[in-house]
Structure 1
């Protein structure tokens, strides 16, 4: 039932999800679903937990930056499949087991790397803000591939940006069209800046040897 609810939300978004709509997809009576979940909020909790279960947990076998990098890439990939979940991952007040395992593993990775309790919390919040924010922005982009981005920049944006009126936007759009880069490169660029900044803070907090 939960897996079908996730597939339905993937296709149609979560706003239109209802117990009656789900029952129709399952060819079951709406009241029968209440044997499994008490209400829609409990169903959303289970759906969000399913999404968290797809995210790669930080590994103990690599340094903290590699672990956080792989985790960030995994989160972005999962949210690309389940765009409805972007605004829900941190909204649940009754987190499921996969949700709790994920957050415990992230904080554990940062604490074992030498971050204080407070700085591990700050780092976790910052990384989530970057990844979720990027995923939200990416979900609204009017293109899906690097080639489509280059086409949009060259054939759609540039004609609307006369260089005498918008010189900086014009040169930026032209550079974007010529670079052959897209969201993957932008995501990596920002993520590396965040990780480098956090490493600087972590290193400076270490006691003198």
Structure 2
């Protein structure tokens, strides 16, 4: 009996010891901080994208301002003077009323059809930027001789390359930088006028190439 009791006592002590060790181990595990689970690669990438500030691409702007690069400062100033000359009511917009006013200045009746034809390629409100763009699109890649031809053509209703002598004189004395009588007299000595008609195409050639170049 004594032997059995001794064995039983040893088993109980061993069992208590094992229970104690398990309990201590469990307590240690509970006390230790639990390591955070590493995010999955895909999830980590998504978090990184969210963390980065979103860079919004700027909307494409129309290159309206680029038209100024087609001309030098002197040319832009000339276009500005021409625009101001046409903009009779000084509202910053060229319309049919402005063109009609120019005709009235030189004592001519403005045909609405002619005015409409002159403005048909223009936007509803032709401001200076649009005005310059219109010329830029037409003249880009061409020389200033073409620009002069186009300028004269605005007043050549019959599109024959000629203007009536008196009509041209009225333009010079009533529109834009007005010529004096003395200036016109001097100018008339150089103009290619035949039968009361000014050959403005020939005049442009003389202006750009000299009198000997036909």
Normalising to structure 1: TM-score of the pair? Answer: 0.25
The structure with the greater share of residues assigned to helix is 1
Larger radius of gyration: 2
- The structure whose RCO (Cα within 8 Å, separation 6+) is larger is 1
Normalising to structure 2: TM-score of the pair? Answer: 0.24
